[in-house]
A and B are shown apart, each in its own frame.
Chain A
Amino acid sequence: MLTGNKNTSWKFFSWFFALALMSPIVVMLWGSINTSSDLFTHLWATVLPEYIRNTLVLGVLVALLSFCFGVPAAALISQTNIVMGKQLRWLLMLPLAMPAYLVAYLYTDLFDYAGPVQRLLRAWFDWQSPNDYYFFDIRTIGGAAVVIALVLFPYVYMLTRTAFEQQDRNLLRASRLLGCTERQSFYQVALPLARPAIAVSLALVTMETLADFATVQYFAVNTLTTAIYDTWLGYSDFAAANAIASVLMLFILFIVVAEQRARAGQRHQSSRPNTEHERKQLSFAQQIIASIFCWFLVFSGFLLPVILLLAMAVDYADYNQLVALIATGKNSIKIATYSATIATLIALMLALFQRLHQSRARMIPLQISGFGYAIPGTVLAMAMLATFGPLDHAINDVAKAFDFKAPGLILSGTIFAIVFAFVVRFSAIANGTINAGIGQIPKSLDLAPGSLGVKTLSTIFRVHLPLLKSSILVAWLLVFVEAMKELPAVLLLRPFNFETLSTQIYQLISDERLEQGALGAILIVLFGLLPIIFLNRQKDSK
């Protein structure tokens, strides 16, 4: 399909970008080679087994909970006549706008022994000490898993719902004609058809969980990321930290491969526009249960945290805070915009390469460019320094050799490093979204213009890009939101006098003074709402 010069240059750039995004990972693996075995023996004998256990348990629990939250919600919204379905349809996406570390802080604060809920209970029932009553301990793996799942399940919900909605109705009708009950046709046809979407979203959720540090810290749950921090910052052993990060990568690689295996050989493209279909009519009791379920998710994943933040903002916010927010907000938007744009362009290029190119290894660039999602932000930041530090040195050395003024650290000491880190980290999201969009385009369309004598590039511009318009925007917005929320990489890589909304909030949270950052937190959430509003409007206008 692709021929001539364009073919090679496209191939070259695809591989180039994919390898560039891979480079921090390679640097990380390389850096782990010189690990001293002493420290490992010590860690293994003391804390590491517990950390690994916690990591696995947390990953499995979050995946399980996200599945239990997301899939039924998707089914209820897309297949039944649930009351207020039209509103719930987008309300259920709102938790995506909440940074996990923020929700974690709010919930641990709320349900902690010293928090308002338990204080109120004690005041009501005149309990004096923890021995007088039972209350669940929020700072446990279970607590962490529930809270993380509450903000991550929308990924599962979103992708699964889309899968349900875009299913070929004829298949479902056929199954009914062949004698399936409504229930059978859901479990035997609709659900299996949605399997790829469920698998992709669960993989994303698990990766996000495993790479997390700030959130688990509030829950006092020690995971492999704790071990990475300990070895790097405590024992100052960067090599060992890299080695543990590599182990984490292996876990995640396993998830990615498992996910792809699960999808292997499944291709189903609906070439029919999706017409409004008959929805299952819920009985009154079913309506109530379904509504409680969906509203519980909306309330605990979004409304409650926002109410808590608003209450704080009302009490504490003032004009000066607002002024300071504008500058930090601008920084956040700036890096988020750059990251989203670059990540989307690269994803587009790689996904189209995979689709239209004929070389045997055409899948590889897309796949390897998504690995960065699995690297904890801090490790990624370190890898950035390790990658761009030497490059910067080379640039300065050359400049000096030719008697120019040394330009300084133009790569590792500027927002370049932050944007690069974000692109590495969030490419998986852009890739997934755009690739899913391409998957929806029937393959016959790749060939059709060709047979009419139209060139490849112009096929892409006339056929693929218009069809991908919404996927491109969704990918852009998702990366934008994630970049607004991201914390550890900015903390470590930021240049002088550079504060973002997330760094500011983190600073205040670590002082137990979130009240004063509530306004900024609300701002992050508001920006997080943008893609959701957009997605919703778009669906409505269809």
Chain B
Amino acid sequence: MLHKIWFSSFVFVALLGASIHVAANDDVNVYSYRQPFLVEPLFNEFTKETGIKVNVVFAKQGMAERLAREGEYSPADILLTTDISRLIELKEKDLLQAAESTELTEAIPAQYKALDNTWYALTTRVRNIYSAKRLGEIDFNYEDLADEKYQGKICTRSGKHPYNVALVASMIAEHGEAYTLTWLQKVKANLARKPQGSDRAQVQAIHQNLCDISLGNSYYFGNMLKDEKQKVWADAVYINFPNQSNRGAHVNISGMAMAKYAPNKANALALMNFLVSAPAQKMYAETNMEYPVRPGVEPSKLVASWGQFKADNLSLETIAKQRKTALILLDKAQFDL
């Protein structure tokens, strides 16, 4: 009996040991906040072209912390994020290194990359205001959301979601803290229900007459139109590009960066070059209905049909700098409670 137990324990430990793999070294390793359905087609294409295998960890949060803990032995080469503040966070924690190549320089306009080349944008997305078709066409400013006439009419996801935090940060950069706090308090007073759900769920609520106006990223509109079940939601709303008569709509980015201790630097650079190439940019734009950053690459037909718009040209780094203040104001306004 005892022998049996010792033997099975030994086998068990051996199996556990055998199933522990450490990432291989001639691949390229990616930590991605971007979702599998978006990036996997791109990676497959990359592997087909170059023969370099791409390993991915998909994460929703905590990547910076993980990377920091892993330090110099981190297997990560490339980081993909969905939001500027995440890129800046990585940079501030000194987890990135500069990546330079002629392809990158040619492909990405200066306003969409770090001064020191530590990060590059891949796509841009607008924080739109969605409004019920029943309201008719309206020219919105973000500032209007505080207007009393919208009392009980607005729906949004949690104020602390990175997309909303970035919007609040841009309001702070434009108007200062005091104005933004009052704005937040008034917007909160206008909410039809406490912040909850995703950007799409707000459009669903508009469709169901629960509210008339919501905040949402641009690509959700396209993705809802492509989804059988969600198409009716999207059909009930207009997608509005705010602040067109003044500073322009708030734009956020998805981006990439090279990890400070990237073990496969050459492969990593190859992947970065691939991601900014025209075909990859086109693919990225098509799959998720975002705006490609590479000049000359057109957004998908559907996205283009929403028309040209003016984007707020406030620098992304300035917005990211206000992130903490934005969080503090959101707490002060008790926005989510």
Residues of A within 8 A of B (CB): 42-43, 46-47, 50, 113-114, 119, 128-130, 139, 218, 220, 222, 229-230, 232-236, 238, 334, 338, 341, 345, 378, 381-382, 385-386, 389, 392-393, 396, 406-410, 412-416, 419, 457, 461, 491-492, 494-499, 503, 506-507, 510-513, 515
Contact = CB atoms under 8 A, between A and B. Distances in A.
B324 interface: yes
B14 interface: no
Contacts of B109: none
Nearest to A127: B209
27 contacts: A43-B331, A114-B207, A114-B210, A128-B209, A220-B195, A232-B65, A341-B12, A382-B62, A382-B65, A385-B65, A386-B69, A393-B72, A396-B73, A408-B75, A409-B73, A409-B75, A412-B69, A414-B21, A461-B2, A491-B61, A492-B66, A495-B21, A503-B58, A511-B200, A512-B197, A512-B200, A515-B229
Given A47-B337, A128-B209, A233-B61, 14 more contacts: A220-B158, A220-B194, A229-B61, A233-B62, A235-B324, A381-B62, A382-B65, A413-B75, A494-B57, A496-B56, A497-B56, A512-B201, A512-B204, A512-B230
Given A492-B62, A496-B23, A130 B73 contact: no
A46 B165 contact: no
B208 interface: yes
Q: Which 5 A-B pairs have the closest CB atoms?
A: A220-B196, A496-B55, A408-B22, A389-B69, A114-B208
A119 to B, nearest CB: 7
Contacts of A378: 62
B175 interface: no
Contact of A42 (B9, B72, B331, B337): B331
B334 A47 contact: yes
B247 interface: no
Nearest to B158: A220
B1 interface: yes
A507 B73 contact: no
A341 B15 CA distance: 12
Contacts of A407: 22
A386 B207 CA distance: 46
A434 B140 CA distance: 63
Interface residues of B, number: 61
B209 A129 contact: yes
Contacts of B2: 457, 461
Contact of B55 (A334, A497, A512): A497
B22 A413 contact: yes
| Residue of A233, A386, A414, A507 with most partner-chain B CB within 10 A | A233
Contacts of A114: 201, 204-205, 207-208, 210
Given A129-B209, A381-B62, A496-B75, A507 B69 contact: no
Given A234-B327, A512-B230, A393 B71 contact: yes
B16 A338 contact: yes
B337 A222 contact: yes
B182 interface: no
Contact of B19 (A334, A408, A497): A334
Nearest to B66: A385
B44 interface: no
B235 interface: no
A419 B337 contact: no
B328 interface: yes
A127 to B, nearest CB: 10
B304 to A, nearest CB: 24
Contacts of B65: 232, 238, 382, 385
A230 B327 contact: yes
